[in-house]
Structure 1
């Protein structure tokens, strides 16, 4: 079974939104955008404890009670011969599925406001034809839907004590005691009775019992006595069990103090309960901001649990944490944002095979960018160091305004651009006009810089399907077959400038997509902007100095740049990409 689509209409702050789903779903966005409301839409559909209360007036978009709330979940049943959950759905829905469309099935809850009752009464529907859904019969608040799905909602403040207490009977099912356990249990009960006998014989306890009984009888004449007892023998020894920490090679026990440790232990209990779940209800987890009180390392550990284990087969996770997304793959990314009305974009994120071995690095960079409004992609750390310095001087609040600089550092631009654009996050690209000699043909050069930019125009096509630019020949050899590095560098530089002019129409097209190609490279662009200043700071050949040790020497330069230097750079035409992260015109 695969979750495929969620549609929400006229519910809370959603006038209408359509979301592509996977079995693992990540919801993100600024505060107060509606992440919790999206969770509640699912709860109204699949959780009778929420649905039984009906839709209040405030659940209708802008209190428009004359309109109908519609929440529709679509699932794919094409794996019906191999998936147990799919088989379970098919067995429960029975003849509701017509033979016309066997692979898709819909569940819907509608809320029509009843003014006389002052509430929107939920009605459930299902079927495999979206325009011909049948109403699901309900017995009070219970329907067959509640026998098919179970919603497990995990709030940000998941409480260890409450989770343990609520599930204690399931964790310690006394009907499963073996013969030896029963013998021990009876011995404990006897010891409990002896314990209470000892307690009652204490002078301190007897004095208190007598005093409190006398005080009670002053208020109410009654033939009773107040006695103090340990609950161990009254409620059973399981009632007093609580988890403690015992370290290896240490006989002492320690309380589970600390919110982070308690949360991890609460999730451990939840995982255990999930695995021990009886019956065949399909469990869907709604997990809200689990990163609260968790150290970074624990967030990464939880990411492994969520995305890699087989415990959480179906879940919706809302988060502000990039660490929780390190292990994501085959997940739907759901971005909720505001453009007047609340909007949403969703994208099924899959790590391509060529990036599987760098999945964590790819996800680490991407997951931070997901929380931005505008992302500037650059080739490496030296560009990032320079651009961050410039923006900190010119517009120090650029990150507060939703800007972010991401260096792809050996990973191609394409996977980042594809995801970010799909989520309607503004993407800006700045890259060098690189040429690369063909292997075995030192005079033939591919236009890899311009080509990588053109590959970003049509993200639906494979890179191999994008028209390739013809390579160029640069004959830097002399008549006697010799060459020097300086001669080669100059000829390559001159050819890059010529190619920049030759392909001006393509470069203009790239600019419309926020893709900025250097005339040569970052160092030459920088020299065009503040060449005299660079010579003052780095010596007579600052370009070579920067290129010899790019990151180290770029840090040296940025430490010396003044605000005036940074303003000159960002105003230069070759640094238009940076201005995209500045929301106002520069004076």
Structure 2
């Protein structure tokens, strides 16, 4: 069973959106844009507890109760032969599936507002024909669907004691006690009786009991006595149980203090309960901003659980944390954003073989970028530190406004552009006009920089060129000839260069260092191109210390660095 698509209509702040899904979904966006409402749409579909009170007027888009709420999920059942979950659903749905569309299945909830009742009654339908869905059989507030699915909703404020106490009956099922357990229970009852006798024998306890009994009788003179007892004796020893942590090699017990440790233990209990109590159901986890109270290392640990373990087979998680995406692979990224109305963009993020050896770096960088509105991709760290310096001087609010500078390495531009663009994020690219000598050739060169840009636009790449250099030339002479050839290519292909700019791809005439030299080279008494190319990152870090606001402004306003202006513009 695979989640394929979700359609939300007239529900809360969603007027009419359709978003592609997978079985593992990450939902992100700015605050108050609708991430929680997105999760609640799924809860209304699959969670009986959410549905039991119906829809209120505030559940209708802009409180307009004249329009019907409709939430529909599309499932792919083409894995029937391999998937136990698919077989469970097919067995329950029975004749709601048609032979013409066996691989697609829809579940829908509708609601019209009943003025006389003051709420919207949830009505559930399913089937393989979207235009002729069948009403799901129900009994009271329960539908056949509820015997099939279990929703585990995890709030940001998940609380250990609450979860532990709420699930004690399931955690410690007395019906599973064996004869040995029953004997131990009898022994405990005897011990608790002895315990209470000893407590009652204490003078401080006896004095309190006498005094409080007399105080009570001043209000109501009854033939009673107030006695103090251990809860264990009255309610059973299970009522007193609380979890402690015992470190290996340490005989002491430590309370589960610390919000992070409590949260991890809470997740562990939820996983345990789900396996124990709901193994016969299809479990859907809805996890809201789990990063709250979790240290970075614990967020990464949770990321491994979510994306690499079988516990979380189906989940929808909202988050603001890049660390929770460190292990993402073959999952759906869903970005919720708004201009005039809420928009949902999604992208199926997977790690292709080309990127396997840099998965950690790719995920780390991508996870940082997806939370932005505009991302400027640069080749390396020297570009990044320079651009950060200039923007800190000229437009220090750029990150607050959703801007982000990301160094990716030239060969990885395409994956970032593909993913970020699909999520509705504006992507800008600044890259060098590189030439690369063809292997095994003396004078044949690939137009690496230009073709990199053309490839990003899906355009045909240019043919290789010949550059007259010889093996007996000095390195300096070769560099001079190659630099001259790059400038010629840049001039000869101005139509392409302009087309690139129109697509927010900014090609240097030669490279970053030469761009800088054109704009502010005369302000220095040394060759800044040579200096910056000798030890790129170290020298760039030194160089930016000499850039004042005036020099930064010159760079920012130049044609060569238009990418900076376009990143902070409102367009």
Same fold (TM over 0.5): yes
Aligned partner of 2:335 in structure 1 is: 335
Q: Distance in 2 between matches of 1:530 and 1:474?
A: 30
Q: Deviations over 1:388-428 (max 9, x none)?
A: 00000000000011100000036510010001100110000
Alpha-carbon RMSD:
1.3
Q: Conserved in 1, the CA contact under 8 Å of 2:170 and 2:277?
A: no
Is 1:222 aligned to residue 222 of structure 2? yes
Unpaired segments ≥5 residues, structure 2: none
Between stretches 316-325 and 196-205, larger displacement belongs to 196-205
Between stretches 166-175 and 550-559, larger displacement belongs to 166-175
Aligned partner of 1:574 in structure 2 is: 560
Aligned partner of 1:463 in structure 2 is: none
Aligned partner of 2:463 in structure 1 is: 470
Q: Distance in 1 between matches of 2:311 and 2:568?
A: 44
Aligned partner of 2:472 in structure 1 is: 482
Q: Distance in 2 between matches of 1:278 and 1:546?
A: 62
3-state SS of 2:116 partner = coil
Aligned partner of 2:516 in structure 1 is: 526
3-state SS of 1:441 partner = coil
Q: Distance in 2 between matches of 1:141 and 1:243?
A: 35
Shift of 1:482: 2.4
Aligned partner of 1:164 in structure 2 is: 164
Give matches, 1:206-221, under 5 Å.
206-221=206-221
Q: Conserved in 1, the CA contact under 8 Å of 2:150 and 2:278?
A: no
Q: Deviations over 1:328-372 (max 9, x none)?
A: 111111111111111111111111111112111101001111010
Shift of 1:468: 3.3
Q: Distance in 2 between matches of 1:109 and 1:275?
A: 28
Q: 2:534 aligns with which of 544, 548, 563?
A: 548
Aligned partner of 1:58 in structure 2 is: 58
Aligned partner of 2:360 in structure 1 is: 360
Q: Distance in 1 between matches of 2:275 and 2:447?
A: 55
Q: Conserved in 2, the CA contact under 8 Å of 1:374 and 1:426?
A: yes
Aligned partner of 1:280 in structure 2 is: 280
3-state SS of 1:580 partner = helix
Between stretches 29-38 and 506-515, larger displacement belongs to 506-515
Q: 1:410 to 1:269 in 2, by over 3 A?
A: farther
Shift of 1:221: 2.8
Aligned partner of 1:190 in structure 2 is: 190
Q: Conserved in 1, the CA contact under 8 Å of 2:299 and 2:323?
A: yes
Shift of 1:278: 4.0
Q: Which runs of 4+ in 1 moved over 3 A?
A: none
Q: Distance in 2 between matches of 1:52 and 1:453?
A: 55
3-state SS of 2:356 partner = helix
Is 1:265 aligned to residue 302 of structure 2? no
Between stretches 155-164 and 233-242, larger displacement belongs to 233-242
Q: 2:507 aligns with which of 510, 513, 517?
A: 517
Shift of 1:55: 0.8
Q: Deviations over 1:66-105 (max 9, x none)?
A: 1000000111100001100000000010111011100010
Shift of 1:584: 6.8
Give matches, 1:91-170, under 5 Å.
91-170=91-170
Between stretches 425-434 and 198-207, larger displacement belongs to 198-207
TM-score (ref. length: structure 2): 0.98
Between stretches 131-140 and 424-433, larger displacement belongs to 131-140
Give matches, 1:294-309, under 5 Å.
294-309=294-309
3-state SS of 1:100 partner = helix
Shift of 1:545: 1.3
Unpaired segments ≥5 residues, structure 1: 459-465
Q: Conserved in 2, the CA contact under 8 Å of 1:381 and 1:409?
A: no
Q: Distance in 2 between matches of 1:41 and 1:148?
A: 18
Between stretches 70-79 and 504-513, larger displacement belongs to 504-513
TM-score (ref. length: structure 1): 0.95
Q: Distance in 1 between matches of 2:147 and 2:278?
A: 12
Q: Conserved in 2, the CA contact under 8 Å of 1:362 and 1:411?
A: no
Q: 1:543 to 1:414 in 2, by over 3 A?
A: same
Q: Deviations over 1:540-577 (max 9, x none)?
A: x2211111110000000011110101000011111011
Q: Deviations over 1:300-333 (max 9, x none)?
A: 0000011100000000000000000011111111
Q: Conserved in 1, the CA contact under 8 Å of 2:455 and 2:461?
A: no
Q: Deviations over 1:253-302 (max 9, x none)?
A: 11111111111111121222233234411110110001011110100000
Q: Distance in 2 between matches of 1:194 and 1:306?
A: 48
3-state SS of 1:376 partner = strand
Q: 1:162 to 1:584 in 2, by over 3 A?
A: closer
Q: Deviations over 1:105-147 (max 9, x none)?
A: 0001111001111111111111111111111122110010111
Aligned partner of 2:291 in structure 1 is: 291
Q: Distance in 2 between matches of 1:5 and 1:584?
A: 32
Q: 1:279 to 1:488 in 2, by over 3 A?
A: closer
Q: 1:279 to 1:387 in 2, by over 3 A?
A: closer
Shift of 1:185: 2.1
